[in-house]
Structure 1
C-alpha cells in the first residue's frame, strides 16, 4: 500500500465512486464515526475486509462516558437492555469463594452524571447496536472490502479496493486496528513495546451450571482464571494465564486447555465447558502513533493507540476518538466550518491517548500486585479515571473561556423557560449541533439573535433552572450563556449581564457568534 501525492486528475477520476468520508474498519470506532457523520447527512462509506460479522465478546464494556455518547446517538437504551450494571466480582482462593465486590457499588445516578456504572456487554452486540443505528440512516457496512492502497492530494483521497474498484473521498479514516494498514501506509511511527512473554488466553465458551449472577475470578499462587457472564447469552468470556509447555512457551488456547485450566482453578465438579466460538491469545502491547493525521487521512481507535486491557479502555477510547472527530469532519464536509477545525482532533485526542497508556499501565500493575492477596481481584481497576468522565480539553483551541471551558458538559434536569416542559440537558444536547444555553432573563435576546444567525449550526435553549442543578453543575451564579460543542464539551461560558456591558447582552452574543463564524477558518 502506498500513500503518495498524486495529481488532482487522479483524485477526481471518473471511474471512482465518491463519498465525503471513507471509513476503513467496522469495529466500534468505525461504526461510531459512521453514525456521527451519517446523522448529519454527510455522505459516508464504511468498509471492512472481514467476510462476515463476528460473534466474539472481545472488548466487553462500555464505560460511563461512552454510555453518555450512546445516549446522544440514540442507542443508550438499546445498550442498557443488553448489558449488566454493577456486576458482582466473586473472588476465590484455592477453589473457595472468599469475597464478593460489586463494581461501583458506592455510586448512584446523580443529576449531572446519570450513569453510575458502566455496562458489561459483548463487543459483537455493541457493534450490532451501532450497525442497526447506522442502517436507520441508510448506510450499511460493506463486508469483504479490503483496502489495498490509497493516494491523496490537497483536494481528496482515492482508495483502491482488492477487487480493483476505486473510491474517491474527501477524507479517509483508518479505524482498522492495531496492525492498521492505513497507519503503515502513511509511515506513521507506532512507538512502544510488546511483551511477548506476558500474555493471557481468552475466548468465549458455555459454562452451563455456573451461576451467571457473578463474574467469577480465581487467583491462586500459580494460576489465574476469570469467567465473565453476559445478559441473555449462554456464552461466557474466559480469561486465564495460559498453560505452559515443557519449554515454558504458552499453550495455544483450545477447549481442552480451557477445561484443564478451569478444573485446576475452579475445582467445581460436573461443569464442562463447551461450544467454543472464539479463541485468542492476548499479549501486552503498549504503543501510540506519533501523529493522528497526515493530510486528509486520520487514525482513530486501536490504529492510533493500543494498551493494556486493564480498565477496559481500549474500545471506549476508540469510541470517544470517533465522537470527537466525527462532528468536526461533518461540519467541514458540509461547509459549516473551515478545514482548520480538523487540526483540533489530534491536538485534543493525542494527549488523551498518552494519558490512557499511562493509566492502563498503572492499573495493570495494581491488579497484578493486588491479586497476590487473598480476596482481591480486578476491582483494583475500578477507579474514577476509568469512567473517563473527567477527560476534557482545557488546553485546546476550542476551549474559549469561562468556567470549566473544555470540560465535559454535565447533565442536569431542568425546564424549558419558554414552554415549561421538563427535560434534561443531555436530551437538549443530543444531535450534531452546538447548543447555546441561556440562564436568566438577560440571556433571552442573545439566544434569539444567535439562533437566527446560526440556525444551521446551533440550537438555543432558554433554561428554567428551577432546582438549581444547572448552575451547580456548571459553576454558575448569575445569568449566563454556555456554549456546548456537538461532542458535549463546554466551549464557552460567560455571564450574560457582564457580557452585555450592563445593557442588553449584545457583546456576549457577539462573542458567541464570532466564535461560530470563525470555526476552523
Structure 2
C-alpha cells in the first residue's frame, strides 16, 4: 500500500477527516485539484460542529477569527423597513458549552483545519487531479495525474460535482431548482457599517444583500441577478454605496440532492459529494464535517462492521437535514425568511444514532437520555466532561458506581442517570448505557478498535 486512506478533496469535510486520522497516527494522503480556495461560501458553524472543533483542537482559532451573526436590517425604497436577529442568542448551559452559531468564512475554516493538520505532521497535496479508480478485496487503486496510487480505502470529499462519486456510478437523486439562482461574491464596500447584515428589497423580494464577514474587512454579497456583470453598478444603484473590490465570486443554483449509498466497497462518500443543500438553515458544511467525524475512527479501526455503520448512521441524518433545509427554503422562497435560524434543531445538538447497532441501552426503563444521543457536557469533579472526552479514545463515565479507568461524573443534570455506566464513542455519542458493570468490557471488546 502507498497509504492507508486516500482522501480526495481538501475542503472542510476532507480536512476534518485528515485531522482526525493524523491525530490517530493513521497513514493518509489528502489531495485536491485546486491550489487554493478563497471564497466565503458556507459561513455558519453550528454548535455541534463547534464541539467537534473543540475535540480536534481548533476551537480557539475558530473563536479567535469568527464572530456572532450581526442583526439583519432590511431596506425598501431607500428606507429601513425592518430589523431583526437571525436567531436569539442563547446562554451557555452546563450541558451545552457552545450554544450559538459562529460566523466563520469557509476559506478561514479550511485554513484553520489545514494549519492543524500541519501541526500533526500532515499536509494537503494541491493541484492534483483524481482521474478514476479500480478496487479489489484488499484495496483501491486510484489514478492521480496519470499515476496509480494504492490505498486501503478511498474517500470522496470533493464536493457536489464529485469525481469520486461519478466514478462509483452512484446516482445523485434530487432536483435542481433552476428558477432559484444567486450570484455570490466576496467584496469590499466603502462606508457601509459592519454592524448589520444589510438586505435591500423591492416588491418582488430581495435584490441585494451584504453581510459583513467576521474576522475580515469584506462583505459577502448575494443577489438573485446571477447574470450581473457589473456588481459595482448594482451596489451603487441599489444601496448608494461604493463597491471598491471584488474577490472570489460564483454563480449558485439551488440543488437538493443526495446519494442512496455512502459506501461502495472500499470507497466512501462524505460531505457535498454525498448531499447538497440549499443555504437555508446553514446545514451543508456542518453535515459534511460531521460525516467526516463519524467516519474517521471507523476507518482507523479497519472493522468492516464499523465501516458499514457509517452509511447506516449518516445517510438518515443527511436525509433529515436535507429536508429541514428544503422546508426553510420553500418557506422563504429565497427571501429573508429563508435565513431564519431560530429553530433549535438547526444547531444539530439533537442529532442522534438511537437506531444504530452501536447504540445499546440495557435499562428496563430508559430515561430521556438514550444510547445513540450526543453526550452532554457537565462536570466530573473539576473537569468538564467534554474535556475528558477529547481525544481518539472510547471513554467510560460512571454515575454513582465505580469502574477501573472510568471518569466519575459529579454534576451533570442532562444525564438523568443513577448507578449507571456510560460508554462514549470517540465521536462524542453515547454507545452504551447500562447498570451492569459486566456490560462495559463486553461492549468495548466488540466495538473499541485495537489502536
Q: Structure 1 377/261 Cα, relative in aligned 2: closer, same or farther at 3 Å?
A: farther
Q: Which residue of 2 aligns with 1:308?
A: 278
Q: CA deviation at 1:426?
A: 1.0
Mapped contact 1:341–1:520 kept (Cα < 8 A): no
**Aligned-partner SS, 2:123:** coil
Q: In 2, Cα distance between the equivalents of 1:413 and 1:214?
A: 37
Match of 1:409 in 2: 375
Q: Distance in 2 between matches of 1:520 and 1:133?
A: 26
Normalised TM-score (structure 1): 0.82
User: How far has the Cα of 1:116 moved from its partner?
Assistant: 2.2
Is this contact kept in 2: 1:86–1:105, CA < 8 A? no
Distance 2:177 2:85 in 1: 31
Secondary structure class of the residue paired with 2:388:
helix
1:96 to partner: Cα distance: 1.6
Between the aligned partners of 1:261 and 1:406, the Cα distance in structure 2 is: 50
Q: In 2, Cα distance between the equivalents of 1:191 and 1:87?
A: 35
CA deviation after TM superposition for structure 1 residue 414, in Å: 3.3
1:109 correspondence with 2:92: yes
Match of residue 183 from structure 1: 165
Once residues 296 and 177 of structure 2 are traced to their aligned partners in structure 1, the CA distance between those partners, rounded to angstroms, is: 33
Alpha-carbon separation, structure 1, partners of 2:79 and 2:273: 41
Match of 2:73 in 1: 90
Residue 262 (structure 2) aligned to one of 289, 292, 298: 292
- Equivalent positions of 1:58-137 (< 5 A) are 58-137=41-120
How many Å separate the matches in 2 of 1:285 and 1:103?
A: 23
* Structure 1 residue 379 displacement after superposition: 4.8
Deviation (angstroms), 1:103: 3.6
Would the alpha carbon gap of residues 222 and 103 (structure 1) be closer, same or farther in structure 2, given more than 3 Å must change?
closer
Q: d(CA) in 1 for partners of 2:156 and 2:215?
A: 33
Give matches, 1:6-21, under 5 Å. Answer: 18-21=2-5
Superposition deviation, residue 222 in structure 1: 2.7
Residue pair 2:87, 2:341 contacting (<8 A) in 1 also:
no
State the Cα deviation string for residues 7-45 of structure 1 (Å, max 9, x = none): xxxxx6xxxxx1110000000000000011110011111
Q: CA RMSD in A?
A: 1.7
Where structure 1 has 5 or more consecutive residues not aligned to the other structure, the ranges are 1-11, 13-17, 243-249, 333-337, 416-421, 452-459, 500-507
Q: Distance in 2 between matches of 1:220 and 1:479?
A: 61
Aligned to 1:208: 190
Which residue does 2:414 correspond to in 1? 473
Counterpart-to-counterpart distance in 1, 2:80 and 2:296: 46
Task: Tell me the SS of whatever aligns to 2:248.
Answer: strand
Does 2:317 align with 1:352?
A: yes
The answer as to 2:415 corresponding to 1:431 is no
Runs (4 or more) in structure 1 with deviation over 4 Å come to 376-379
2:366: which partner in 1?
none
State the distance in 1 between where 2:372 and 2:50 align. 20
Find the aligned partners of 2:448 and 2:88 in 1 and give their Cα distance. Answer: 43
The structure 2 residue matched to 1:49, chosen from 25, 30, 33, is 33
Q: How does 1:357-368 map to 2 (within 5 A)?
A: 357-368=322-333
For residue 494 of structure 1, what is the aligned residue in structure 2? 434
Distance 1:428 1:259, change over 3 A: same
Structure 2 SS opposite 1:474 = coil
Larger Rg: 1
Which deviates further from its counterpart, 345-354 or 95-104? 95-104
Mapping of residues 135-174 of structure 1, within 5 Å: 135-162=118-145, 164-174=146-156
Larger mean CA deviation between 218-227 and 184-193 belongs to: 218-227
Distance between the aligned counterparts of 1:520 and 1:176, measured in 2? 29
- CA distance in structure 2 between the aligned counterparts of 1:105 and 1:285, rounded to whole angstroms: 28
SS class of match (2:175): strand
Q: Secondary structure at the match of 1:518?
A: helix
* C-alpha separation in 1, matches of 2:86 and 2:389: 29
C-alpha distance after superposition, 1:461-480 (max 9, x if no partner): 123x1xx3x1x21221x222
Q: Deviations over 1:439-494 (max 9, x none)?
A: 22x32xxx21xx4xxxxxxxx3123x1xx3x1x21221x22211111110111112
Indicate which of 276, 291, 297 corresponds to 2:246: 276
Correspondence for 1:33:
17
- Specify whether residues 139 and 273 from structure 1 end up closer, same or farther in structure 2 by C-alpha distance, changes over 3 A only: same
Cα separation, 1, equivalents of 2:337 and 2:399 = 46
TM-aligned CA deviation for residue 438 of structure 1: 1.2
In the alignment, what sits opposite 1:485? 425
Offset of residue 273 of structure 1: 0.6
What are the superposed Cα offsets for residues 207-250 of structure 1, whole Å, 9 maximum, x if unpaired?
A: 121111111122321352211112331211001111xxxxxxx5
Query: Please, which moves more after superposition, 99-108 or 316-325?
Result: 99-108
Q: How far 1:106 sits from its partner (Å)?
A: 4.4
Does residue 261 of structure 2 align to residue 261 of structure 1?
no
SS at 2:178 equivalent: strand
* Secondary structure class of the residue paired with 1:78: helix
Residue 223 of structure 1 contacts residue 265 of structure 1 at CA under 8 Å; is this kept in 2? no
1:221 paired residue number: 203
Distance 1:424 1:218 in 2: 45
Q: How far did 1:366 drift? A: 2.2
Moved more, 430-439 or 224-233: 224-233
- Report deviation, 1:63: 0.8
Q: Per-residue deviation at 1:281? A: 1.0
Whether the aligned pair in 1 keeps the contact of 2:432 and 2:443 (CA below 8 Å) is: no
